[in-house]
Chains A and B, each alone.
Chain A
Amino acid sequence: MPIYLYLDRRTFIHRLHPAVKILTIVGIFWSVYWVDNPISLLPIAVLLLAGAQLTRAWPNFYSLRWLFILVIFATTLTWIVFYRQGKPLVHLGPLFVSRASLEYGFGRGIKLAELLATSVLFLSTTKVEEFAFGLAEMGVPYRVGFAITLAFRLVPLFIDSALTVVQAQRLRGYDFDSGSLMTRVRRYVPVTVPVFMGALRKANNMAMALEARGFGYSARPTSYVHYEMRTVDVMMLLGVIVLAVAYFLIYYSGYGAIAPR
């Protein structure tokens, strides 16, 4: 089961400095934050689509297509209900729809989808180790980064173990699919307990193996992978700063807002 999004390709975005990638995410999140109306969100959408093309990450977007559709649709609907300004087009009891509320809701939907797309691009182009390296460069302690890496490695192991447990209990007549919500929730016990205990049996061995490999020997271990800041990284960073400033200016000049009409 492919559970990670990383795609092993060697595009220039893949090879960006991990810290630059993380800062790019921050920059896009920042830019998106300041504006509300769909038009002003459009340039970012174009940038992200170009990113998807450049990194050839389309398979990931394809496999997550329903998530994107759901996010845009559900968010739009929700905010239409909460945004009660402007001249109503429809006003039936609690239901209040105006042109402004449509714009506002749709803007929110696009916003969320853009943030999602940014993360998908990041994950499609960044290995866990690179992520940890990027975090370390930005001052996150080594051991926190290590715990993140280790957790990533353990997830597929535990999923495998959970699927095996489900099979084993099914053969002993265990039925996972019927009954009320409450009984169904409780049915997770015979599956979760073996997975949990198996994991905890490993905990001691893992800690022991870690220390036997010198974990703790130095507070700031060396790193054999090293990413140099290259020209392309600097350019990317400058681009992100320009984008961030531009979006703040859009907000400041009032173009990003929804006109209540």
Chain B
Amino acid sequence: MSELRSMWGNTRMVVLSAISAALYAAVLVPFKVVPLIPGVTELRPANAIPVVCSFLFGPAAAWGAAIGNMIGDFFGGVGPADIFGFFANIVYGYVPYKVWQVLARGQEPVIRSPATAVKYTVACLLASTFCADIVGWGENLLALRPFLMLGNAIVFNNMLAAMLLSPFLLAAIYPRVKAGHLLYEDVMPEQQGAAAWTAPLGLILLVVGVFGAWTAGNLISTGYWTPHALPASMTQPPYDRAIGIVVTPLVAVAVLGLGLM
């Protein structure tokens, strides 16, 4: 994860993060969104952009997604989840690239075979779910909106854009960015060392943390599972603070996993 820091030393990466952010926000604003739950979430074609940028620019896309989401919120007014939305979007813009590096290092992120399709889906699903975990977790910690609705809407929403739109955009854009030497690996070749030996372990932790958090959040939110170890005041509907507390260590595991990759 050190590259999230070191990329700021490279002017092209700074510009690419601003461009990723502006593209994300620019597609958010004029294109019609289809509200799924009014005021909570909507089908945003723009959500395809961070995934595309992630495969192209790696860490610059992570910051770009976070800043772009912030700008997008600025148009309609920032919401309270935006401190979490910021981190959730860093993850959304960072995980696809990171997972791809472990699963399919050196391959183009263009779907050409069933194997690449599976790897691509895994990368996007991890990113979408991780993003949802963080927003759902944060909002429950603040007791703002229920995990069940918010978390699942975000996963659905992100996956829809990432699976339907991003592959087409990547197929059209990736080869051209490569030809223009603007891929992360061309802009910062010094960052491209061998994969860390901890990478597979990191991926496992990421999977455990991400899906664990998602499962726990859903189970508690629906009332199927009540963590009785918690104080009684928290184990009553709507369970929001309980979710906040139970999900915290799982999110931490996922972040640790990301750090090891």
Contact = CB atoms under 8 A, between A and B. Distances in A.
Interface of A: 3-5, 29, 32-33, 36, 64, 67, 70-71, 73-75, 78-79, 82-85, 108, 111-112, 115-117, 119-120, 122-123, 141, 143-144, 146-148, 150-152, 154-155, 157-159, 161-163, 181-182, 185-186, 188-189, 192-193, 195-197, 199-200, 202-204, 206-207, 210-211, 215-216
A12 B80 CA distance: 25
A119 B79 CA distance: 7
Interface of B: 8, 11-12, 14-19, 21-23, 25-27, 29-31, 34, 37-40, 43, 45, 48-49, 52, 63-64, 67-68, 70-71, 73-80, 82, 142-146, 148-149, 160-161, 164-165, 168-169, 172-173, 176-177, 180, 182, 221, 236-238
Given A67-B77, A144-B63, 18 more contacts: A5-B74, A74-B38, A119-B79, A122-B78, A123-B77, A147-B21, A154-B19, A154-B26, A157-B26, A185-B161, A186-B164, A188-B27, A189-B165, A189-B172, A197-B173, A199-B22, A204-B182, A207-B15
B89 to A, nearest CB: 13
A157 B25 CA distance: 11
Contact of A196 (B8, B173, B237): B173
A119 B77 contact: yes
A33 B16 CA distance: 36
Contacts of B77: 5, 64, 67, 116-117, 119-120, 123
B11 A147 contact: no
A32 B18 CA distance: 32
A33 B141 CA distance: 10
Given A116-B79, A151-B71, A200 B164 contact: no
15 contacts: A3-B75, A79-B146, A79-B238, A85-B236, A116-B77, A152-B22, A161-B26, A185-B45, A185-B161, A192-B27, A192-B49, A192-B169, A195-B23, A202-B19, A203-B15
A170 B88 CA distance: 36
A163 B40 CA distance: 27
A78 B18 contact: no
B80 A115 contact: yes
Contacts of B12: 203-204, 207
Contacts of B70: 148
Where chain B touches its partner, the secondary structure class is helix
A216 B168 contact: no
Given A151-B18, A215-B11, A162 B26 contact: yes
Contacts of B177: 200
A192 B46 CA distance: 10
Given A154-B19, A193-B172, A199-B23, A3 B29 contact: yes
A193 to B, nearest CB: 5
B26 A155 contact: yes
Nearest to A120: B77
Contacts of B63: 144, 147
Contact of A119 (B18, B34, B78, B148): B78
A196 B169 contact: yes
A152 B73 CA distance: 12
Contact of B40 (A33, A67, A74, A181): A74
B146 A82 contact: yes
B30 A147 contact: no
A112 B79 contact: yes
Contacts of A199: 19, 22-23
A3 B26 CA distance: 10
Given A159-B26, A211-B11, A78 B149 contact: yes
B71 A152 contact: yes
